[in-house]
Structure 1
Amino acid sequence: MDLGLAGKNAIVCASSKGLGRACALELARAGCRVVVNGRDADRLEETRAEIAAQTGAEVIAVAADISTEEGRAALIGALPRVDILVNNNGGPPPRDFRQIDEAAMIAGVEANMIAPIRLTQAVIDGMIDRRFGRIVNITSGSVKMPLAGLDLSSGARAGLTAFVAGVARSVAHANVTINSLLPGSFDTDRIASMVAGQARKSGRDPAEVLREREAGIPAKRLGDPAEFGAACAFLCSVQAGYITGQSLLIDGGAFPGVL
């Protein structure tokens, strides 16, 4: 399917690896000029070069912390206009809610709620003027199915989801859409880290912990980041202009509900 994105400008936050990288790759395949972002400049440059080589697209690397005003300004300043914004950021580490002090709470909200809102504020009026814009927020399946230990991540991302719900309806008339992608368990470094942590706590082999996690997913496997990237690219496409204000759960059937 031609997604109608050739020549569009896209920013994908936290895209040096994992789900962000998968989204950047698919948007580059669709013909976008893509800005990739991360805090590790060396790793980010490797990603930029790999995506450019695979797709032939123009890929721009911006090493910056999007939790800061300076980082967000550097990201937006890398393009003459922004047609597509994919908000993404690493989540707080799993921990008992009793151990979350005020500084950690503020940092979690800044990274997973305030930063994407500020980026959205910065690009949305230009999208409205041009009568095209796509904003995709990568949140988490824990927004629908909260998990103990991920309380700060769940709370901040749920706050973002609620904040943009009304915004999405207010800009839909201008062919600007805002949607969220809610990943479940995908084959990424974050899941590997969580599995390793569970294994250390329980004294079990990480492979056993991973098999147990996969057994609890109806699909009986972790998600492939490429599947997630393809869903992101579709939500950014011209064909998805009538989809807005939605949260698409991609979890292999793990959430036991119908809505």
Structure 2
Amino acid sequence: MDLGLQGRKAIVCASTRGLGRGCAEALSAEGATVVVNGRTQEAAEQTAEAIRRATGGTVLAVGGDVSTKEGQAALLAACPDPDILVNNNAGPPRKDFRDLDRTAMLDGVVQNMVTPVELLQAVLDGMVARRFGRIVNITSSSVLMPIAGLDLSSGARAGLTAFLAGICRQVAASNVTINNMLPGKMDTDRLRSGLRWGAGQAGISEEEEADRQRRVIPAGRFGTAEEFGKVCAFLCSEHAGYITGRNFLLDGGLVPTAF
């Protein structure tokens, strides 16, 4: 299927590794010009070159922390009129809620709620004027089902989901969509960090903890960044204009809900 992304311009935040990189690779493979972003220019350049070699596409590299005004300005300078925005950012580390002070809580909300809203504010009106826009927010399955130690991340991402639920309906008639992707247990650095934490809590090896977690997933495995990226590419396609305000759970059946 031709997704109609040839020549489209995309910003993918926090995309030097993991799910963000999977999205950047998939969009580039479909012909979009992609801006990749990492904390450092070196990391962004390395990722951009790797994606160029894999896809033959045009890939721009922007270093900087997307949670800062400087980082956001650098992204928008590289691509001032994106057709696609994939919001992604690191979440706060696992921590018992009792150990969270005010600074940590505010930082978590900035990372996982305020930052994507600020970027949306910067690009949404241009998308409306051009009558094409696709915004995808990478949140978490923890928006629907709590994960021990990730209360701050879950709360901030759920806040983003609620914040955008009304906004997405204001711009739908202009062929601008806003959707959320909720990863479950995906084989990323974030997952490996969680496995180490869980293994330490249970007094077992990291591989034993990985086996234990795989067994509770109906699909029997962890997800991959590649398959996640391909779902993202479809949501950004010309065929997805009638899909907005939805939460797409990619978890191998882990969250036991009917609706």
* Equivalent residue, structure 1, for 2:240: 240
Alignment of 1:75-94 (within 5 A): 75-94=75-94
Contact 2:42 2:63 in 1 (8 A): no
Amino acid at match of 1:240: A
Indicate the SS of the match to 1:197: helix
Alignment of 1:150-229 (within 5 A): 150-229=150-229
- CA distance in 1 between counterparts of 2:127 and 2:137 reads 16
* Residue 97 (structure 1) shift: 0.4
Moved more, 27-36 or 77-86: 77-86
User: What CA deviation, in whole Å up to 9, does each residue of 1:185-206 have, x standing for no partner?
Assistant: 0010110111012222332111
* Residue 44 (structure 1) shift: 2.0
User: What CA deviation, in whole Å up to 9, does each residue of 1:96-140 have, x standing for no partner?
Assistant: 000010000000000000000000000000000000000000000
* Residue 223 (structure 1) shift: 0.3
**1:32 maps to 2:35:** no
Q: Give the alignment's TM-score, normalised by structure 2.
A: 0.98
* Equivalent residue, structure 2, for 1:104: 104
- CA distance in 2 between counterparts of 1:122 and 1:190 reads 28
- CA distance in 2 between counterparts of 1:169 and 1:162 reads 12
Contact 2:31 2:57 in 1 (8 A): yes
- CA distance in 1 between counterparts of 2:222 and 2:126 reads 38
Alignment of 1:117-128 (within 5 A): 117-128=117-128
- CA distance in 1 between counterparts of 2:258 and 2:227 reads 21
- CA distance in 2 between counterparts of 1:162 and 1:31 reads 32
- CA distance in 2 between counterparts of 1:187 and 1:207 reads 13
* Equivalent residue, structure 1, for 2:114: 114
* Residue 80 (structure 1) shift: 4.2
User: What CA deviation, in whole Å up to 9, does each residue of 1:67-87 have, x standing for no partner?
Assistant: 111111111110241100000
* Residue 157 (structure 1) shift: 0.1
Amino acid at match of 2:200: R
Indicate the SS of the match to 1:209: helix
Amino acid at match of 1:89: N
**Paired positions, count:** 259
Q: Which runs of 5+ in 2 are unaligned?
A: none
* Residue 43 (structure 1) shift: 2.4
- CA distance in 1 between counterparts of 2:63 and 2:201 reads 34
* Percent of paired sites with the same residue: 58
Q: Which runs of 5+ in 1 are unaligned?
A: none
Q: Give the alignment's TM-score, normalised by structure 1.
A: 0.98
Amino acid at match of 2:98: R
Amino acid at match of 1:23: C
- CA distance in 1 between counterparts of 2:239 and 2:135 reads 14
Amino acid at match of 1:209: E
Q: Please, what is the CA RMSD of the aligned residues?
A: 0.8
* Residue 225 (structure 1) shift: 1.1
Contact 2:199 2:206 in 1 (8 A): yes
Amino acid at match of 2:139: T
Indicate the SS of the match to 1:26: helix
* Residue 50 (structure 1) shift: 0.6
User: What CA deviation, in whole Å up to 9, does each residue of 1:123-173 have, x standing for no partner?
Assistant: 000000000000000000000111221100000000000000100000000
Indicate the SS of the match to 2:73: helix
| Displaced runs of 4 or more, over 4 A | none
* Equivalent residue, structure 2, for 1:6: 6
- CA distance in 2 between counterparts of 1:233 and 1:258 reads 26
Amino acid at match of 1:171: V
Contact 2:214 2:221 in 1 (8 A): yes
Indicate the SS of the match to 2:136: strand
* Equivalent residue, structure 2, for 1:65: 65
